[in-house]
Structure 1
Amino acid sequence: MTEANQRIDMHSHFYGGGLLETLQSRTERPYLRTREDGALMMVAMNDEFEFTDQYHDHRVGLAEMQACGLTHRMLTFPGALGVELLPVDEIAGAISEYNTYLAHLTKSTNGALIGLGGVPLADMDLACAEVTRMRRDLGLPGFILPSNYFNSLAEAEELRPLLEAANEYGCLIMLHPGLKVDEPLPPRPGDNVQYRLSAIDLQASAAQVALTVILSDMLDEFPNISFQVVNLGGTLPFIFERMESIARHRTPNDPFPTDRLRRLWYDCASLGPRALEAAVKLFGADRVMLGSDYPIFKDDPHAHALVPADLGAAEKQQIAWKTAHDLFASLDALRAARIHTMEQVESPV
């Protein structure tokens, strides 16, 4: 396989690796139940859906991705489910087992499946220790965080110890829609729930998250962290000019820092060619990656979003594999440098 034939899916979710048994043992959201017709159902935070093998059997997903030409896929901890918010005595062991399983999958699939782990957020010390274990011992590229921690600067500050731990070995952090620990569910809309919650609200949330990161000192204070914002930054490609206008008219000496948006990474999960074109014009192809949101969405992002997009051949190659490839290479280099430094300290010449 040549580099030009690679296609890397940077946004999918995996509910296996021990989580299946944990969810089956629960009786409160999130949990699994068996329907009268025998179908296994996931009772999630906002909804209920059929829990097919695609959610927890990596072999099914691997076969489907290979059939459509995807060569690599990043499997992530199911962040929107809220599992990482549970009390640590219920979930810390299962999360650790899950992360270890992800590392095993990477080895057993020769790197075709790449794991992005989870952390037990109800105990910050345990969460920090798990981040260190994931990067130092397991070699996972990073972990997923609920984006509600990034709705404001004050909320992001709650995660300072975790960000410090992530910065030590270099880390990819996917900021994915999800609640904070002990945060109540928001009220449900009175109608058209799927579209209002899963499209309108979610895309605005993604933009809020990116705004918090770029308008803070995080990018400079934690230079070894790579923040991945899902869904092409939500509404950002369509409203950034308004934010520039707001600054131009109200704070002319403090312009909106549009260029800082290019210091984040973005995936195109569940979106199409028109959104992808707008995002590339704003962020640059070297900050944009394929994403499917599999198994929630099952479209091949290469065929569905990238091929029909009005982009140049070089830009399409960049998005198909090179942005992700270069990101992983930089993370590997940071991890190797930190491990080398620690070995030098422990065994001075």
Structure 2
Amino acid sequence: MRDLPPTLAWALVKLKYGFRIGARRMDLSRCIDMHAHFYGGGLAEMLAARTGRPCLRETIDGPVMLAMNGEFPFTPAHHDHEVGLAEMAVQGVTRRMLTFPGALCADVLPLVDSLPAIRRFNDHMAAMRGQTAGRLTALAGLPFADMEEAARELVRVRRELRLPGAIVPSNYFGTIAQARTLEPVLRAANETGALLMLHPGLMVGEAAPVLADDHPQYRTSAVVLQAQASQVVLTLILSDILDTFPDIAFQAINLGGTIPFIVERMESIGRHRNGDRPFPTDRLKRVWYDAASLGPRALEAAVKLYGADRIMAGSDYPIFHDSPLDAIRGATISDDEKEQVAWRTAEALLDRQDQFL
């Protein structure tokens, strides 16, 4: 190497000893959590006054929230944003998108009950965004008992409150026909360029799900929930919704459920049973996905299928308290892909929402 030009000699040294020429350090000093929930903003007071589910009850062990699909202790983490900010600092989360708690099903109550509470919550979340200098933003609730009223509230949320969008009960996306009942909301979302998170929740008038006879935490809250999340994605990509409403950003939860693991079977079904209509795998990349409550192996499969530029970190806080960075750091994906999932995809999506205003 003594006779080589200095620049070439140094390049060979770096290659020999494992240096990456021109590489930059991966930036995981930022993390945007795109799937978390908030039960404050007046919701606790409204639910405490109710006599039936969903409702908040005082017990000898402390307050308990009775949702439509179960119950859980109601702690300050659920309703005090300062507690959440402190946990974010510990976890390495620099920005978080909170949502109206869709699984409670308060957004499908009769309009007289839901609309005042939802508007109060949305106003509260808009104020919180300003108070935290954008560290906390939010997806609003909508009153689905009246679709036209829900559409008007979404327009207010986008144009007056300047929030990114809203959370929508994903049971409305169990079939294409069910999704079409949301047309007024979808029109408003497209008009305002809204982000819609399709999160587990009931349709108006729908009975609460029957829990499994044993181990419902696993059978119902994991296996059934992930299968339902997959149905939501299928409704989006097998219908004309993405084409009819091109300015809506749809967020599917939990990496689209089982989709990354069964997509090859669906492609085989397309080849062998629908030869003239192959499964539209490419359309999966027109949806955004969060990785809430899932781990590194699931993330690896999803990155290979969707691409890291469609995947965002998520925690499902305060139901879960793990840092979303744990799955990202543990995944066998490139440094660039880790950075993309940790914050770049979410930052680009949130910037897109602001550009529509």
TM-score normalised to structure 1 length: 0.94
Mapped contact 2:251–2:287 kept (Cα < 8 A): yes
Mapped contact 2:27–2:339 kept (Cα < 8 A): no
Q: SS of the residue aligned with 1:328?
A: helix
Mapped contact 1:203–1:234 kept (Cα < 8 A): yes
Q: Partners in 1 of 2:195 and 2:89 — Cα distance? A: 25
Q: SS of the residue aligned with 2:266?
A: helix
- Structure 2 counterpart of 1:108, from 110, 131, 136: 131
Q: Partners in 2 of 1:306 and 1:89 — Cα distance? A: 43
- Structure 2 counterpart of 1:312, from 322, 334, 345: 334
Q: Partners in 2 of 1:333 and 1:105 — Cα distance? A: 20
- Structure 2 counterpart of 1:42, from 61, 65, 84: 65
Q: Which runs of 5+ in 1 are unaligned?
A: 336-349
Mapped contact 2:197–2:250 kept (Cα < 8 A): yes
- Structure 1 counterpart of 2:100, from 36, 52, 77: 77
Q: SS of the residue aligned with 1:307?
A: helix
- Structure 2 counterpart of 1:127, from 141, 146, 150: 150
Q: Partners in 1 of 2:323 and 2:91 — Cα distance? A: 7
CA RMSD of aligned residues (A): 1.1
Aligned: 1:204 with 2:227: yes
Equivalent position of 1:215 in the other structure: 238
Q: Which residue type is aligned with residue 48 of structure 2?
A: Q
Equivalent position of 2:322 in the other structure: 299
Equivalent position of 2:12 in the other structure: none
Q: Per-residue deviation at 1:155?
A: 0.2
Aligned: 1:55 with 2:82: no
Mapping 1:229-308, distance limit 5 Å: 229-302=252-325, 304-308=326-330
- Structure 1 counterpart of 2:197, from 160, 168, 174: 174
Q: Deviations over 1:202-255 (max 9, x none)?
A: 000000000000111111111110000000000000000000000000111111
Q: Partners in 2 of 1:163 and 1:108 — Cα distance? A: 30
Q: Per-residue deviation at 1:4?
A: 5.6
Mapped contact 2:98–2:137 kept (Cα < 8 A): yes
Mapped contact 1:120–1:126 kept (Cα < 8 A): yes
Aligned: 1:88 with 2:124: no
- Structure 2 counterpart of 1:14, from 28, 34, 38: 38
Q: Partners in 2 of 1:228 and 1:210 — Cα distance? A: 9
Equivalent position of 1:227 in the other structure: 250
Mapped contact 2:69–2:209 kept (Cα < 8 A): no
Identity, % of aligned positions: 57
User: Number of residues paired by the alignment?
Assistant: 332
Q: Which residue type is aligned with residue 190 of structure 1?
A: D
| 4+ residue runs over 3 A deviation | none
Q: Per-residue deviation at 1:3?
A: 7.2
- Structure 2 counterpart of 1:195, from 195, 202, 218: 218
Q: Which runs of 5+ in 2 are unaligned?
A: 1-25
- Structure 1 counterpart of 2:52, from 9, 17, 28: 28
Q: Which residue type is aligned with residue 105 of structure 2?
A: G
Q: Per-residue deviation at 1:27?
A: 1.4
Equivalent position of 2:352 in the other structure: 330
Q: Deviations over 1:305-333 (max 9, x none)?
A: 10010011100110010000111111111
Equivalent position of 1:151 in the other structure: 174
Equivalent position of 2:183 in the other structure: 160
Q: Which residue type is aligned with residue 162 of structure 1?
A: V
Q: SS of the residue aligned with 1:55?
A: helix
Q: SS of the residue aligned with 2:151?
A: helix
Q: SS of the residue aligned with 1:138?
A: coil
Equivalent position of 1:340 in the other structure: none
Q: Which residue type is aligned with residue 337 of structure 2?
A: E
Q: Which residue type is aligned with residue 252 of structure 2?
A: V
